[in-house]
Structure 1
């Protein structure tokens, strides 16, 4: 994903702001957008590779739910050492999947990757040893999140792994505002203007509803995971490991 295009989607004043959407414009600049917006993104991907080496089981499926341009799928394929595995990458944006296919075709690997254009609510999870939800669940309506986690837990083999990365909110209102401010400072450091930060925040308001870490653990326990823990957090972004 070298020579990436610069994200300038919100750099000019937008009179009528529409909800954020993973359309062609976002797909074109997504690598730049996520690198400049999500602290620790490369650390999460690197660690997914280490987890794949530990938790992938032979003759199973590895799922990348909300795969965007396929970074997590490619990381799992690079680090999978088990035989007869298949990676199933799912996204509901045709624009993202079109570019995802190009990225996948650019790298060789022994583990096949299948792309499915659908909502993750409609994805069957079967014979899975690893499932990745990398900043995906936050875009699903809150009332549908438990059912998705239930389905993932049911479809994972014993000892299977879920990697759940999310933007979160703190239980304390004042701490939550501090984390938001620090994240905005992170974006300023990466070249985003006040206008860009403000307009993107407005665009995300209706489509991204964040949960507390406590609620994530509660849902995972209810879904049937034996244990879950935060292995990484930077500002209001965290990544959780849950084991079947």
Structure 2
């Protein structure tokens, strides 16, 4: 069985998949790039180039938005993805839609992306929706944080992450009736496994799809739910502090005790969290 993002045909279908399957309001599709653009602006330093990483850049949609949004600013955009198939689609899209494409595309994943970079001082690292949830083990999560520590500019650099609520990930066995559905991608099975049995608070969820190219093939991916309070504590333990948060897809608010309380009670909407490094760990 193939991992979905590594399949070339799926990478060509990915933008259509998002358009067909992602609910605009629930996922903040129309506003998340605006929020990330505001985060990027908060890392600008006068007379200095700002280096931005789109980590898990996929087919390059967000990179094109940022390039157009900041076309008169001194920025450098870098897209990183573990899937060469997705990077190939991104390269084609960037060359077709940008008149002077200077965006750098690199092959790497969340646990080793620091090794891909010529520069180790990054001003802003952006993690798109759902990307973090593909880290299944605690070891993978720690390696991911280590890479941020190695690359994010201390104190003034910002790391932004979009976390999905459990209800978007932990789903039951699908009721399959595809008789009137012309979609090329059909969910055919779900396997949910409890993680961290001592806490009973996170799940690894494997979803398997039938992809009618043709011919039909089976694709899958695995996602892990995320306990927000435990996630924040993990970053605190690694010399980061939360500085901003978005809970409604519109406003970027300063992180405080009230936000912390709201996060602990949030089970149904996405969360964008923004951290900065409070100690140079290099």
Q: TM-score, normalising length from structure 1?
A: 0.71
1:132 aligns with 2:147: no
Alignment partner of 2:80 out of 70, 90, 94:
90
1:115 aligns with 2:115: no
- Deviating more after overlay: 202-211 vs 114-123: 202-211
Task: Give secondary structure in 2 for the equivalent of 1:104.
Answer: helix
Change in Cα spacing, 1:212 to 1:233, as seen in structure 2 (3 Å) is farther
1:33 aligns with 2:33: no
Q: How many angstroms apart in 1 are the aligned matches of 2:16 and 2:248?
A: 21
Change in Cα spacing, 1:206 to 1:23, as seen in structure 2 (3 Å) is closer
> What do the CA deviations read for 1:22-75 (whole angstroms, capped 9, x no partner)?
422321221222232262233212221232233244324211111101122223
Q: Which has the higher contact order (CA 8 A, sep 6+)?
A: 1
Q: How many angstroms apart in 1 are the aligned matches of 2:148 and 2:101?
A: 21
Task: Give secondary structure in 1 for the equivalent of 2:142.
Answer: helix
Q: How many angstroms apart in 2 are the aligned matches of 1:19 and 1:110?
A: 33
Change in Cα spacing, 1:69 to 1:206, as seen in structure 2 (3 Å) is closer
**Bigger radius of gyration among the two:** 2
Once the 2 structures are TM-superposed, how far is the Cα of residue 237 of structure 1 from its aligned partner?
3.1
Q: How many angstroms apart in 2 are the aligned matches of 1:75 and 1:206?
A: 27
1:217 aligns with 2:232: yes
Q: How many angstroms apart in 1 are the aligned matches of 2:9 and 2:273?
A: 30
Q: Mark the runs of 5 or more structure 2 residues left unpaired by the alignment.
A: 175-180, 191-205, 210-219, 250-267, 278-282
Change in Cα spacing, 1:153 to 1:31, as seen in structure 2 (3 Å) is same
Q: TM-score, normalising length from structure 2?
A: 0.63
Give the 5 Å matches for 1:39-188. 39-57=27-45, 58-80=48-70, 81-83=72-74, 85-108=75-98, 112-124=102-114, 126-134=120-128, 135-142=130-137, 143-157=139-153, 158-169=155-166, 176=167
- Count the aligned residue pairs: 211
CA contact (8 A) 1:233 1:239 kept: no
- Deviating more after overlay: 232-241 vs 38-47: 232-241
CA contact (8 A) 2:111 2:147 kept: no
CA contact (8 A) 1:229 1:241 kept: yes
Once the 2 structures are TM-superposed, how far is the Cα of residue 19 of structure 1 from its aligned partner?
5.0
CA contact (8 A) 1:45 1:71 kept: no
Q: How many angstroms apart in 1 are the aligned matches of 2:63 and 2:140?
A: 24
Higher strand share: 2
Q: How many angstroms apart in 2 are the aligned matches of 1:119 and 1:149?
A: 12
Higher helix share: 1
